[in-house]
Structure 1
Amino acid sequence: MKAIKYLFAIPLLYFLACSTPKEESGVVANNETARARLDSTLNSMIETGMVAGASALIFEKGKEAYFNAYGYADREGKVPMDRNTIAIIYSMTKPVTGAALMTLYDKGAFQLDEPLSKYAPEFADMKVFAGIDSVSGEMILEPLDRPITIRDITRHTAGFANNPNMPGLGDVLRAVDPANRENTLVQMAEKMGAIPLMFQPGTQWAYGPSVDVQAFLVERLSGMPYGEYVKKNVLDPLKMTETRYFVPEGDRSRMSAIYRRNEDGTLTQLPDSSAHSFNINHWALTPGGFGLTSTVDDYMRLAQMYVNEGTLDGAAILKPETVKLMATNHLDENIKERMWLPSKGQVGFGIDFAVRLRPPASADENHGIVGEFFWDGAASTLFWVDPANDLTAVLFVQIMPFAGQVHKKFRDAVYGPYVPENVK
């Protein structure tokens, strides 16, 4: 009788084994090779002194696929890098501001190719700097070929002065000081409107204060202080409670130190009093281009909203077609002057993101998937959205100056060794 029971049991076990769904391996999810590669890469960054601490979070298909943290948030204080470490994200503030601005686009408040001056007369009488008169020593100014458009401020083609060391124009920029923390956004805009542009709008890509102007435009169009608007319409609906300009005293022990890499490769911790000064004091300026702090989990919620085409956990931030518009290249190929953007790889630029147009041309370039959109921060933080694989990644380190090799190593760890297109 036992033999008969076992005879029936064997097919039953076989049936159960065959019918139990197996989790498919993804780029990182259930991919032990990728996970081991990530662990090894992050650990190596610490062991070699490339960074003091690193944390990485990856989601695939809406689920956590990887998290780990290595090294120290505060190496001298022996405070480990952790999941709840608060990092200063610098320019990774920009995709938050882009979301805030485009909520107003969704409401029909503006069109991308409308003149900025339609809503902001502060920018109505702009001129373009064309050099210094050799006799008088005065600036030579030219009229605009066309007005600055809102599209220009979303893709860094407005021409705003950004280099205080530029002969002639740099002197004006330093004197007017639009980015002073004591300025309100309105005062910032008024001062920027008094400074000549570096180039004719739409003719070059030059990273600068365009996204701060986006924050001002949000404030102007909504009739609400920018800090309040972004909190009400982006951060609170996404439950991004750790993403903020001002870090209250009770949370400051979780703030990561910031390190500067010296010429000999060693790291020096910057004094917290200066490195954290923007975020431990209240300032009049609420910039759109920098200034926020966040945790990896908090920022992942923004990335997940983007990969889900504008929604997350029932919160609808943007329309799907608006996210697609943001993740579309808006840089015409005839715009040849692109500052350091080509160092990001085979990319164009959308609305507050770099957008990957082509696969890497060589193993030396940053790895990535066509259609991804991403941005990073001055302290070498990074995030990207890979719609093809339904993958989002956030990497937090706090190292200056900007360390592109950190991103290169992390991307290679996620996607694996480079394989040329012609041998795939």
Structure 2
Amino acid sequence: MKIPLQLTDSHELKDMTTHSVEVVSTSSVTADTSPVVLNQTDSLRFRFLPTLVTNEKEPQKSVSGKLVYERKPRKEHSFPTDKVSRKSIKTGEWMELQLNTSETYELFCGLKQLYELYDNMGVIPYGVATYARVDSTFRHFLSIIQNDPSAARMIGNAENFDLVKTLLRLITQTESLESLKKSLMELQDENLQHLTTTLNIEKLQRVATLMEENLDNNSEEFWQTTVFKENQWVLAQVFACPCTIFSDKAYVGGKGVDNSGGNLCDFIYQNRLSQNVALIEIKTPCTDIIGSSYRGTYSFSHELSGAVNQVLNYRDNLTKSYYTLCHQNASQFEVLSPKCVVVIGKLESMDSTQIAAFENFRNSLNNVQILTFDELYQRVVDLIAVLSEDSTISHIDQYEDESEDLPF
């Protein structure tokens, strides 16, 4: 399997491994390949430098090369450049390169791999290429899935899920990810779409489970680092535009002349298209939202009031310090009436009257959006439901298209 690379004037070939071989063309009929390391220490290097050859007269004889034995003092960083070759041997002199059993075996394995490579390659490629070994069982498995839809449906049966898990574990443990990428390219579009959707749903489900199991976790560090920083798409569900983390624990200005009073915002998200930013303040699901009752309604906790004022203060400082911060930051960003978001508490901790008071309060705010942790969790669950529904519809459509081939 070939992965083409861009040709450079001097490409240093990596040593051959059992899983990959680099090939650099030197003419239309020859190519240098990765060296076969026979023995190597800090002061010694013994290698076979192979060349693939298109030998029209004797095609089976497709490999030539050089045995290179190098020694250097331990204090030297590089091996010597002075070369002694058999051409330098004078009449009456002779030269010996003895191979021990380990070196002979490494040479045998390298030559075997090169001959197999040339047989599969067919022609000398132009430029630089890396050939990666693909397990024959894996290739056969992909061929079955691609050419036999009934086999794919059989593997998708719930009774065979343990087999699927084992196969996926073996496939993703390969040392050559390029082999996996190339193999996936051989799948039909519908198969690849089903696989991609299933993997995305599984990733979403793991994060949803993590959030659900920690809705009583009162650690801000856990939510900021383990959940939101490692899965930045979760907070992106707050916005109706494509956003990603611009910075976490970001300085937004506010220092005085004595270098005190600086403000650090939990997260700054950025619209990938407009470059505008949004400020996000993270509390915990256990943070109180409701305060004491007040004449038929409720006041709000000092934590909520403080968080709202805090993120508004970040917004004010960032707006005032924009030109200074923009000059200091290599990344480009805009501060255009930036959106402010506070993630705090849970709706399930409140009764209907308290929820009504909370809704009236947050809907009256113009510059701050307040979202609870269980609402954010529900957005992830809804996203899973949408993807799952799309996957089911796609599967039904494919089933109907194949109905003419069924025996009933």
TM range (shorter): under 0.3
The higher radius of gyration belongs to 2
Question: Bigger relative contact order, structure 1 or 2, given CA contacts below 8 A and separation 6+?
Answer: 1
Structure number with higher helix proportion: 2
Structure number with higher strand proportion: 2
Task: Give TM-score, length-normalised by structure 1.
Answer: 0.22
